[in-house]
Chains A and B, each alone.
Chain A
Amino acid sequence: DIQMTQSPSSLSASVGDRVTITCRASQSINTYLNWYQQKPGKAPNLLIYAASTLQSGVPSRFSGSGSGTHFSLTISSLQPEDFATYYCQESYNIPRTFGPGTKVEVK
């Protein structure tokens, strides 16, 4: 199975900050990498698929990059509604492994 790691596990930031979360795969997954946002008490919500494609309706302040084993999610200017937990997920293989998550908290 492919192992996914994320860093940091949590971060504190202020509104307007630029935030970057990294995700690593234990083997090359090309660009088969998705990002989800989850708010407390809610189901996860797809933000980015295929490493860098923004899902319809997702604000353009979110962007994704990377290929192979190294990926990143960037929020260019953090908004109040962006405080949440973010998960990466590989879709290269079965099982569809998720990263452990990164919690973005208010500084």
Chain B
Amino acid sequence: QVQLVQSGAEVKKPGASVKVSCKASGYTFTTYDINWVRQAAGQGLEWMGWMNPNSGNTGYAQKFQGRISMTRNSSISTAYMELSSLKFDDTAIYYCTADSGDYVGNWFDPWGQGTLVTVSS
């Protein structure tokens, strides 16, 4: 079945970087853009950016410009999201999701299981 499996929980100090992986299976990896969405405890969903696994093209939310990078290794069907200069309020669950869709629009399905990133001194 189509699924995205993410790497495990991380604990980082302020100012450090974190790199989360997202491995796709059940479909051709280059078919769908990979998006990243995060969710702080008790809060809503925050879109972070997208990456086209075929071209490597990316687009980031303005809030994260300059400290986010999305990359991929197509040989192992894996996307990566790296966030640098971590702050306490970057503590959140980070999700990858495939931007599916057709001529009627785009939608996020499936989703990875989420990766908890905790920023703590």
Contact = CB atoms under 8 A, between A and B. Distances in A.
A binds B: yes
Interface of A: 31-34, 36, 38, 43-46, 49-50, 53, 55, 87, 89, 91, 94-101
A100 B47 contact: no
Contacts of A34: 105, 107-108
Contacts, number: 66
B63 to A, nearest CB: 9
Given A43-B114, A100-B44, A94 B108 contact: no
B107 A98 contact: no
B105 A91 contact: yes
Given A96-B35, A98-B45, A91 B107 contact: yes
Name the interface size band of chain B. Answer: 20 to 34
A36 B95 CA distance: 14
Contacts of B108: 34, 36, 44, 46, 89, 96
Contacts of A55: 109
B47 A96 contact: yes
A53 B47 CA distance: 23
